[in-house]
Amino acid sequence: MNAIDPNLVQILAAVLFTLGLAVAATRRNIFFLLMGVELMLNAVNLSFVGFARTFAGQGSLLGHLSPLFIIAIAAAAACVGLAMVICIVRNRDSLDSDAYAEMKE
């Protein structure tokens, strides 16, 4: 179906991105931080795929390829991020990001 309005797709992506950013920037729990980041990445994927249909020929394939790599990168990020969460929790026994306020000093 090539009838979906690409503008709507982008607006949806923007909304999801906004929500993801809000989650990442406001929640105190570290897991929510990670999940907000994942949500943002998904929004970006959606944006790419949404653009794919506004180009012609080979150029449109970029819109289909990029999410592939983004997913891979998100996986790597999640993996490392979770390992760090484990480390952090081991140190402080708390998942509150504000509890680590002292570590910057």
Minimum CB separation of residue 40 from another protein in Å reads 10
DSSP state of 96: B
Minimum CB separation of residue 71 from another protein in Å reads 6
Q: What are phi and psi of 5, to 5 degrees?
A: -70, 120
Residue 37 binding another protein, by CB under 8 A: no
**Strand, coil or helix: 22:** helix
Contacts of residue 51, Cβ cutoff 8 Å, sequence gap at least 6: 6, 10, 63
Residue 9 binding another protein, by CB under 8 A: yes
Give the footprint of another protein on residues 39-98 (CB under 8 A): 39, 42, 45-46, 49-58, 60-61, 63-65, 67-69, 71-80, 82-87, 89-90, 93, 95-98
Residue 34 binding another protein, by CB under 8 A: yes
**Strand, coil or helix: 29:** strand
- The partner residues of 29 in beta bridges, in order of sequence, read 96
How many residues touch another protein under the rule CB under 8 A: the total is 86
